[in-house]
Amino acid sequence: LKETWYPKRWTEILVPEPREACVLNCLLRTFAPPDYPFTFLQKADTDRRFSTFLSFRAAVIYPHDYALMLFYEFYACGMPIFLPAHLSKYLFPYSATVPLLDYVPDWVRKLPNRPPYSPLSLISVDSLRYYAHYMDFFRYPGVEYFEGIPNLLARLPVADLPKMSATMRSFRLHQLDKAHNHWDCALR
């Protein structure tokens, strides 16, 4: 990537939710004390350029879809990311609207070591608990997790953002090196 996290907006936190889901942004703006050192902005409050997003102090992402690309884009650029800790915040209601995601052929249902849940239908805390250790939201190092709005408000001012960014960049480079070596061997 040509872009990288370059924080020029040290007092602003990006909360890039889809416009129809302003719940987290609304809660943060409501519960932040008047003297809180940071303001919270949405994508709509910006020019929507990626370089602008990367100029924020950090991003708070409330996962609403497991194909959420902003997580990967911000992570690759080393932008500090804060995610909710509780698995219930990762319930992906959109997967429940696609009936094929729950379809399991009879022959697969009868397999002795079949997982109890479909990895494509993460619509219960039990299914998320089962698959969380495979999800990049929880596998990638350097990400900070918050237990709720008060915990997030307390963590943002004290988080070691340069360390978070360095950890993320190092992991990304390690993953790129592994992928390069894998495909180099596979294609020889």
Residue with the two structure tokens 């399991």: 104
**Cα–Cα distance for residue pair 108/91, rounded to 1 Å:** 24
What are the tens digits of pLDDT across the range 73-127?
Answer: 999 999 999 999 988 887 765 555 555 666 677 777 788 888 887 777 777 788 8
Q: Quick check: helix, strand or coil at residue 63?
A: coil
pLDDT per residue as tens digits for the range 114-167: 888 777 777 778 888 888 888 889 999 999 999 999 999 999 999 999 999 999
- DSSP 3-state assignment of 90? helix
Please give the biggest Cα pair distance in the chain: 61
Contact at 8 Å (CB) between 55 and 9? Answer: yes
pTM of the model: 0.85
Lowest mean pLDDT of 13-17, 50-54, 101-105, name the range: 101-105
